[in-house]
Amino acid sequence: MPIAPALALTALLLGASPATAEPAADTVDALIEQLRDDPILVDPSMGMGDSALAHDVLTEAAADVGLPVYVVLADNPSDLAGTDRVAEQAAALFRDQLGDGLYHVEFREGISYTQSWGGGELDDAYLAPVTRALERAESNGPGEYPRASALFEAVLTVRWAVAPSEEIPEAVVDEYAEQPWAFVAESDYERADATAGRWVALLATIVGVLVAGTIVTLVVARAKPAGRGAAGRRPASTRATSSDPARRVGPTRAGRGAATTSAIPGNIGATAEKALDEARRRLARLPADKLTSPAGSAAADAVEAGDRVLTTRDSLDAVGATVLAAIAVREIERAGSPDRRPYRPCFVNPLHGEARDTVRIDGSSIDAPVCRACARTQGRFLAVKRRLRGSVPYAETSTVWARTGFGALVGDLAAQVLDDRSARR
């Protein structure tokens, strides 16, 4: 397969593009009708200045996938306003009306969602090659803290779908990364500037954030430098701190109140079990020398901790199990590639996936690792239902998950979870 289609590259380098693309519709039903006419839908707000060119690049990338490909990069549909996991909901609705295929959906306020239906091995494939490709691109990208654009992520996701069990060739990643639409301009938001390569090792008290109008004091202890990161870049695992001058996460949503929380999905237990099974299978395939390495041991500890908490049937524990499974998979990868950074989840909601930036949490005086979407506009805090208090942000619970931010704030989540469970006996 060629590194990049000649037509798309010519357009990228010369700045040529067809007529201006039609803006995305405002409702799910209207988006479906647009997708019937054209399966690649890029709103001008998500097209990095040229939605028609973005459309052409995605169309070229989708040519070899082997099943229908639907890509939506647009503003949030008005009929899904105020709901959780908007991209996932939209993808399911699209598939219900449009049929099987690969769906990649990302709206301006929220995280991306990718799912294949009717694609054989692609249906159960993991997006790890895309994550690694984005990490590589960002580690070598322009500026101090380069951040991949939604369009760049979408293009890599579609290219990954051609051979989901393989890594995306570095030449492909590098060539796309050279294009002007690959990275978001840093001037769009401020960055936290904590010292590179340092992270939180211990919280002296419960995590503090302003959620639902409650302020809790956060005390953070400095730790030793974490593993090696990309030269000159602060990894997403950078420490949280209460001493730096205030910085904003990003533009605040208009009219958002303090009590904005996100419920835990009802199927989280099954999700966690599936993730741990995959981590266990991958761990079993490690060669003996890597299995006994520090990374291999860390992976085994994470799987053990995940198995331990999953037996409680508590929803917060199930979320923690999914994070521990992700940590285990990353450590398995680090056994062969030690330079890869450890996995840290989004502090706001660990179900958002891996943290990529460290930013000031809205309404607080702390910086914490968050996902790409929360760095742009802070999302809703993960919450758990309590019988007397109703929906409670996880950070206000007396749990190991609150103390550690589900591992966003510490580098030894598995050890802390195992210690916590041993203390309960």
DSSP for 85-146 reads: SHHHHHHHHHHHHH-SEEEEEEESSS--EEEEES-GGGGG---HHHHHHHHHHHHTSSSSS-
Pair 393, 362: CB distance under 8 Å: no
User: How many whole angstroms separate alpha carbon 36 and alpha carbon 381?
Assistant: 35
- Domain map of the chain by residue range? 6-185, 200-423
What local confidence, expressed as pLDDT, does residue 401 receive?
Answer: 94
Block mean pLDDT (10 aa), the chain, length 425: 41 38 80 94 83 90 93 91 82 94 89 88 83 83 82 94 90 91 63 32 35 36 33 35 33 39 86 91 88 92 92 91 94 88 93 88 82 85 78 88 93 91 64
pTM (two decimals): 0.53
**Of 84, 26, 74, 83, residue with least CA distance to 51:** 74
What local confidence, expressed as pLDDT, does residue 388 receive?
Answer: 65
What local confidence, expressed as pLDDT, does residue 249 receive?
Answer: 33
Provide the β-strand partners of residue 148. 183
What local confidence, expressed as pLDDT, does residue 22 receive?
Answer: 64
Q: Which residues contact 372 (CB under 8 A, 6 or more apart)?
A: 111, 147, 148, 356, 357
What local confidence, expressed as pLDDT, does residue 412 receive?
Answer: 92
User: How many whole angstroms separate alpha carbon 266 and alpha carbon 98?
Assistant: 26
What local confidence, expressed as pLDDT, does residue 356 receive?
Answer: 86
Question: Tokens standing for 394?
Answer: 């996880």
Question: Tokens standing for 157?
Answer: 């996701």
What local confidence, expressed as pLDDT, does residue 82 receive?
Answer: 75
Fold type of domain 6-185: Diaminopimelate Epimerase; Chain A, domain 1 (3.10.310)
